[in-house]
Structure 1
Amino acid sequence: MSITIATWNINSVRLRADLVARLLRDEAPDVLCLQECKSPVDKIPLETFAARGYGHMVARGQKGYNGVAILSRLPLEDAGHRDFVGKGDARHVAARLENGLTIHNYYVPAGGDVPDRDVNEKFGHKLDFLAEMRAWFTDTAPEKSVLVGDLNIAPREDDVWSHKQLLKVVSHTPIEVDTFETTREAGNWVDVTRADIPEGQLYSWWSYRARDWSAADKGRRLDHVWASADIAAAAHGSRILREVRGWDQPSDHAPVFASFDL
């Protein structure tokens, strides 16, 4: 059985419900994980997605910010969530498909603008969030699992438009990259996107601040798909739908896809 999973920071699921429906119609992933939904769960427009065949949802929500949702055309059950750093934020949710695959959907804190936890509480929050992820993976090795989401870190030099110029910019600083990699390694997760596309510049986010985001092309790969080591070899078909960033009133993120033969 081949399952295609997509992840997309939608930057308001209610504002961009039509874009979600368009992606579901055009690309038809089996599962779509959304971050930054900015909506209580009961206000997520599930009926719009159900009309496209996606009537199953597991989600955690908040009014106006954060929020994660897993939409599926396959039956799935709620597999819980974790309250990282004890802030009560809706930044993680998990769901389990009938074949036993567990899907974790994360929205890691962005970290503010200054990469110094002594002067920027948001940066400290981000590092602590990742540290708790790492501790969890160390205690409970993931099996038959996929982890996706806006992890808000571009780890490789070719995951950003300029490694040198972004070394002191939040999302690509050495401490973030080191923390990101030790977190991934703690669970023996495999970066599916880069396993499929090992070379070349690769981005999933372009700032709203750019007058012409495509021409400037100052992107970063902030959105990720990881697989537990036992199923990593079953992954294939990774792609980032850059063109979605150019849709009308878009999110600043593009969807990332991967398929798994399970």
Structure 2
Amino acid sequence: MTRTSVIAAHTRAGVRTLTLNRPDRLNAANDELLLALTAELRAADADSAVRVVVITGAGRGFCAGQDLGDVSGRGMTFTEHLNATYNPLIRTIRGLGKPVITAVNGVAAGAGASLALSGDIRLWAQSASLIEAFSNIALVPDSGSTWFLPRLVGYHRAFEMMALAERVRADDALRLGLCEQVYPDNTFAQDVQAYAERLAARPAHALNLTKQALNAAMTGTLDQALDEEARLQQLAGDHWEHEEGVSAFKEKRPAQFMRDVNSPDH
């Protein structure tokens, strides 16, 4: 395990877990936390032993949003602050060449809600909740919420959630499509690890290309998506994972997509 003052990181079975570590503040984000999380994500992307990244929170909260005391009186504009901290973090998550799971263990509010929505997979504890809290302090949702949320629930539901800033609890989040699974609080960490290990056993190169294809398709036309699929499919088909998958299918055995990271063709 490695630990900074604000991020705890450990790796097990190809899964790098990054834990926001300001539990006394419900993991409210300050500059140190945001920059450290971005750096840890980039390090995980460069580490061939890491196949899946999990972002979660220490204590009772996932992330209570911006620590307002951290920005009070600094003289930095809102735009400057977002461009220096939150926006690079969200771009890093979406551009990461590995699946990112946001494991929402408690409240995710404001920019913490944006972070919760930014993962490729969103797993929630039963006690977790999400609040688009920006309107409570007369601000606009940021850090990707205006992009993620309407694509998940539609414009009108997204506007209602943002305008009224009402808490969404786990069962409703699952129904609305804000998360993929809800687990009991007392087994949440184990359930997240088990899910992440299942994902880590899948073909890493193909999932990287799949993420690229989905990211492109979210903002492109059908013709552009078809062209991108054709381009990426060639990259997938030329990779050893494809050969392994076909061989396993023919031999009626489970495919083995995890290879020694030191092997020449990894």
Structure scoring higher RCO (CA < 8 A, sep ≥ 6) equals 1
* Greater radius of gyration (CA): 2
Same topology, TM > 0.5: no
**TM-score after normalising by structure 1:** 0.31
**TM-score after normalising by structure 2:** 0.31
